[in-house]
């Protein structure tokens, strides 16, 4: 988890190229009206509109969610961030950025892997986390962000005005019962129960793609829970052909958003293993492919290499 100390705003990503308006001093403590138009507590931003987002962050802290349509972990993480932000009642605003449609922002934030989540306080960025994380960690990080913002005098609140959607407009269709059970289990950290719920959903409907993706995501969260990345890397380096060690590091890389590293590690290992030992590595790669999404260019590239190694 990122340590959001009072000095966290120093040496952060340089967003000066995105500022098209003159800088303003930070909003006074206790300000309650944003200095930039806010369509809602959660909205999209573009290369062209981001200057207004920077201005807004001088009054209320902003969470920037960098995502893409092809990114499977993004689709798992974004609803969690939106839920937590909404529960904070206007003390934080969530801005979503499609990195494919907004290359200037992707470059400015140095988004080498996604999902990537960054905070903005007083026009300055603060790295929060990269990759899939559990809801409790999202809550803890945003609580730290609010503390940091308070220390810098950014304590405004964005009101839910008349322009907010009504309850009827924002109500989504209810989740299928087994999916709802899995989500409830994930929120409490009961990954075993969530896995069982998704497996039951797939037994009832093997073509349930949402259950497939959910199952892969929960299995990953369960495997990396409490894992030590440094120790895992050391073990894998000591035994380059040890399958469990390689799978452990690959899991941590995927959870951290380093998808290419995970794919390359397992594909390189597959090339070294005899046919009889390849099964677990192949199965883990296929699980990752389903989690990330078939349209992801990294999956397309790695699937082609996997086919060449197997056939």
How many of the other CB atoms lie within 10 Å of CB of 39?
A: 10
51 in the same domain as 120: yes
104 in the same domain as 202: no
pLDDT of the residue at 20 = 42
Count of domains for the chain? 2
141 in the same domain as 181: no
300 in the same domain as 240: yes
89: left (phi over 0), alpha (psi -120 to 50) or beta: left
Active-site positions?
Answer: 71, 74
pLDDT of the residue at 270 = 94
In a domain, 5, yes or no: no
189 in the same domain as 233: yes
pLDDT of the residue at 167 = 44
In a domain, 156, yes or no: no
Is residue 122 within 8 A of residue 154, CB to CB? The reply is yes
230 in the same domain as 114: no
In a domain, 228, yes or no: yes
221 in the same domain as 128: no
In a domain, 9, yes or no: no
Cα-to-chain-centroid distance, residue 261: 17
The residue range of the domain holding 280 is 177-310
In a domain, 171, yes or no: no
Is residue 252 within 8 A of residue 227, CB to CB? The reply is yes
Distances (CA, A) of 250 to 167, 243, 257, 267, 287: 42, 10, 11, 11, 12
203 in the same domain as 112: no
pLDDT of the residue at 166 = 40
pLDDT of the residue at 107 = 87
288 in the same domain as 205: yes
Separation CA 14–CA 22 (nearest Å): 16
- pTM value is 0.53
What CATH code is carried by the domain that includes residue 79?
3.40.30.10
pLDDT of the residue at 27 = 42
Separation CA 98–CA 106 (nearest Å): 8
Residue-averaged pLDDT of the chain = 81
Q: Which two tokens stand for residue 211?
A: 């259950």
Is residue 48 within 8 A of residue 32, CB to CB? The reply is no
Is residue 259 within 8 A of residue 113, CB to CB? The reply is yes
226 in the same domain as 191: yes
**How much is the CA Rg of the chain, to the nearest whole Å?**
21
What CATH code is carried by the domain that includes residue 289?
1.25.40
Q: Could you tell me which residues are beta bridge partners of residue 62?
A: 93, 120
Is residue 256 within 8 A of residue 233, CB to CB? The reply is no
In a domain, 160, yes or no: no
Tens place of pLDDT per residue across the chain (311 aa): 444 444 444 334 445 445 443 334 444 433 433 434 455 789 999 988 888 888 888 889 999 999 988 888 888 899 999 999 998 888 999 999 999 899 889 888 888 788 999 999 988 888 898 887 888 889 988 988 988 888 788 888 887 544 444 443 444 567 789 988 988 888 788 889 999 999 999 999 998 888 888 888 889 888 988 888 889 999 999 999 999 999 999 998 888 778 889 999 999 999 999 999 999 999 999 999 887 777 778 889 999 999 999 88
142 in the same domain as 196: no
pLDDT of the residue at 160 = 59
pLDDT of the residue at 149 = 85
212 in the same domain as 87: no
In a domain, 52, yes or no: yes
In a domain, 80, yes or no: yes
Among 117, 151, 185, the domain boundary falls at: 151
């Amino acid at each position: 988890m990122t340590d959001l100390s009072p000095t966290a705003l120093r040496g952060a990503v340089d967003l000066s190229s995105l500022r098209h308006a003159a800088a303003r001093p930070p909003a006074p403590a206790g300000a309650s009206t944003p200095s930039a138009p806010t369509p809602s507590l959660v909205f999209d931003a573009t290369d062209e509109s981001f200057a207004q987002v920077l201005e807004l962050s001088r009054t209320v802290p902003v969470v920037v969610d960098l995502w893409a349509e092809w990114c499977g972990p993004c689709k798992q993480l974004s609803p969690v961030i939106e839920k937590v932000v909404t529960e904070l009642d206007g003390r934080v605003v969530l801005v979503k950025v499609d990195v494919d449609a907004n290359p200037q922002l992707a470059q400015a934030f140095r988004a080498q892997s996604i999902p990537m989540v960054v905070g903005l306080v007083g026009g300055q960025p603060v790295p929060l986390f990269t990759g899939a994380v559990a809801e409790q960690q999202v809550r803890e990080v945003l609580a730290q962000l609010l503390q940091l913002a308070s220390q810098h005098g950014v304590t405004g609140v964005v009101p839910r005005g008349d322009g907010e959607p009504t309850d009827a407009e924002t109500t989504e269709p209810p989740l299928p019962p087994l999916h709802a059970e899995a989500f409830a289990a994930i929120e409490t950290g009961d990954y075993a129960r969530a896995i069982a719920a998704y497996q039951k959903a797939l037994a009832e409907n093997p073509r349930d793609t949402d259950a497939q993706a959910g199952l892969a995501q929960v299995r990953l969260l369960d495997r990396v829970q409490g894992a030590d990345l440094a120790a895992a890397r050391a073990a894998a380096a000591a035994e380059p052909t040890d399958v469990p060690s390689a799978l452990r590091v690959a899991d941590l890389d995927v959870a951290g958003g380093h998808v290419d590293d995970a794919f390359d590690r397992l594909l390189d290992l597959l090339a070294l293993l005899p046919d009889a030992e390849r099964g677990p590595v192949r199965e883990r790669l296929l699980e990752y492919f389903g989690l990330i999404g078939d349209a992801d260019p990294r999956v397309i590239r790695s699937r082609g290499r996997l086919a060449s190694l197997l056939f």
